[in-house]
Structure 1
Amino acid sequence: MPAPTLGEVTAFSSLPVREVRLRPGVEQVGWPFTLGPVAQLAAEGLELSELTILVGENGVGKSTIVEAIAMAYGLNAEGGSTNFQHSSRPSESGLHEHLQLTRGLARSKWGYFLRAETMHGLLTYLEEHPSPADPERPYHEYSHGQAFRELLTTKLGHMAGRGGFLVLDEPEAGLSLLSQIALANQLRELRSDGIQVLLATHSPILAAIPAAQLIELDETGFEPRRWDQLLTVALYRRFLADPGYFGLD
């Protein structure tokens, strides 16, 4: 019997989100469609795996795409779950309104969005509005990295056994190298809990998670990559070998 094609596999996928496309008839004018990766997403769509990692320089559109997918799924723009209504200063694009998510056969529609940019506001909201399922926690008494790890561990505990969609935007902010390694190992183990992860990062450590689908973004669009093909990996290697190459001498 011949092996199933990619289309046949994804048609019966159990992932919460297996593909992202632009809704038909959307007028692609102005920002964020001027971003190369957003324009390519609009033209070709984007298939997601169990763990999809977007990598690229500042300003190419990683956060814009991740944020839009999270919001199209029903997650709060500034972080939190599908039930969160917290908002401080709206800055998101309207891209989410034009996206069409193809969902798999996942039993759970629950999800959570964590982003470095709005973490302080989310932690404040959680402290002021503790839920019965999530006892009051003094997040602001921790360091940024400790608070992030505590929050992520708590939310993953809620998702364990029932699956869901976890979206992370630059979670390495505030994390030491060892904490990034711990996070990478934590994310690697989520497959066994049926949790799908979409991650935007600059970190070559997080990008090294085994079996992740790596997608590198630049001004022109996006391409699948191996870890050793990523520009961020090459730059880190060059810097560690010779900081003087970058003028630090």
Structure 2
Amino acid sequence: MGRRRAGGGGDAPTWGLPVRRVEERPDRPADRTAWPATLAPVRQLLDEGLDLGPATVLVGENGSGKSTVVEALAALFGLSSQGGTTHTAHWGHGARDASPLPGHLRLVRGAGASRWGYFLRAETMHATFEALLERVERSPDRLAQSHGESYLSVLEDHFDDSGLFVLDEPESALSFSGQLALVGVLAAQVAGGRAQVVVATHSPLVAALPGARVLELSEDGLVERAWDDLDVVAHWRSFLDAPERYLRHVRPS
């Protein structure tokens, strides 16, 4: 119950979205025996394609392919794997080695949709903010703020436009209240019909984004799940119910 294969995106209209679908390029098929196609979710994406609605959340364990998928989407949209906007893609620093996946994929774009985008990833966020401060007049001194405060400042400044917003593990900089504020910003954008959101997360709170289609990445591939059925939700519920059952295994003897 609460699970189905993730090729289609439901009944929501997608014609005006920045990205309607991600699919393999017929002229450049990927080698299914080489990484990252050896990951079941990536292989499924290549085999079946993936339709995207107004909001999509990807959840799964480390190494399941979440970041690989969102980085590929960002690259195909013209965004740097380092993070930033369509106009600031060269500002970030310290990106990981580029995946070959974008070279085997193509986007189906919405008719007349915005081509502006923003890729926010925790690993390179501070370098991107530093570049923004050097170039944008009257910007608040975000470097004097806490990590989470500066993160939310950027959300407030930049997430007020139409376009595609791709976020990779945004919860890493945020407290519980900060994550709740993030979900509020994203939900308002989606509800207003101005933006399309794709988020990769470990957070059950972020995964509860209202109206989002939630896909769990695992050895089973890309599977659409109800929030209540997500492994991460079950694990956190179990931990909060009885933390000692888990902590006794990590304490030194």
Q: TM-score, normalised by structure 2?
A: 0.87
- 2:54 paired with 1:55: no
Q: Give the 3-state SS of the residue equivalent to 2:173 in structure 1.
A: coil
User: What SS does the aligned partner of 2:164 have?
Assistant: strand
Does the Cα contact within 8 Å between 1:70 and 1:77 map onto a contact in 2?
yes
Task: Give the corresponding residue for 2:237.
Answer: 237
Report the AA paired with residue 40 of structure 1: Q
Q: Distance in 2 between matches of 1:141 and 1:39?
A: 43
Asked if 1 retains the 8 angstrom alpha-carbon contact of 2:12 and 2:53, the reply is no
SS in 1 for 2:30: coil
Instruction: Name the CA shift for 1:7/1:217 in 2 (closer, same or farther; >3 Å).
Output: closer
Given the alignment, which residue of 50, 61, 86 partners 2:91?
A: 86
Aligned to 1:95: 101
| Equivalence for 1:167 | 166
Q: Does structure 1 residue 148 correspond to structure 2 residue 154?
A: no
User: What is the CA-CA distance between 1:10 and the residue it aligns to?
Assistant: 7.6
Q: 2:49 aligns with which of 38, 42, 45?
A: 45
**Aligned to 1:65, what secondary structure does the other structure show?**
helix
Deviation string for 1:82-141 (max 9, x for gaps)? 12212433422121222110011243211111001111221222122x235xx3332211
2:83–2:92 Cα contact (<8 Å) kept: no
Aligned to 2:22: 20
> Contact (CA 8 Å) 1:76, 1:86: kept in 2 or not?
no
> Which whole-Å CA distance do the structure 1 matches of 2:115 and 2:172 have between them?
28
CA distances 1:180-216 after superposition (whole Å, capped 9, x unpaired): 1111122111120420000000110111122210000
Q: For each residue in 1:151-181, what CA deviation from the matched residue of structure 2 results, as whole angstroms up to 9, or x when unmatched? A: 1110013x1xxx1101111110121111111
3-state SS of the aligned residue for 1:76?
coil
Question: Percent identity between the aligned chains?
Answer: 43
Of 137-146 and 7-16, deviating more is 7-16
Query: Are residues 8 and 244 of structure 1, via their aligned partners in 2, closer, same or farther at CA, if it must alter by over 3 Å?
Result: closer
Unaligned runs of 5+ in 1: 1-5
TM-score by length of 1: 0.88
Structure 1 distance, partners of 2:212, 2:179, is 16
Whether the 8 Å contact between 1:12 and 1:105 is mirrored in structure 2 is: no
- Alignment gaps of 5+ in structure 2: 1-7
SS of corresponding position for 2:63: coil
The equivalences for 1:182-221 within 5 A come to: 182-191=181-190, 192-221=192-221
Q: Report Cα offsets for 1:216-237 as digits up to 9, x if no partner.
A: 0013411000000000000000
Cα distance change of structure 1 residues 202 and 11 upon mapping to structure 2, 3 Å threshold: closer
Aligned twin of 2:5: none
SS at match of 1:234: helix
SS at match of 1:55: strand
Name the stretch that deviates more: 142-151 or 20-29.
Answer: 20-29
Contact kept? 2:30, 2:104, Cα under 8 Å:
no
**Runs of 4+ more than 4 Å apart:** 6-12
CA-CA distance at 1:8 after TM superposition: 11
How large is the RMSD of aligned CA atoms in angstroms?
Answer: 2.1
Secondary structure of 2:239's partner?
helix
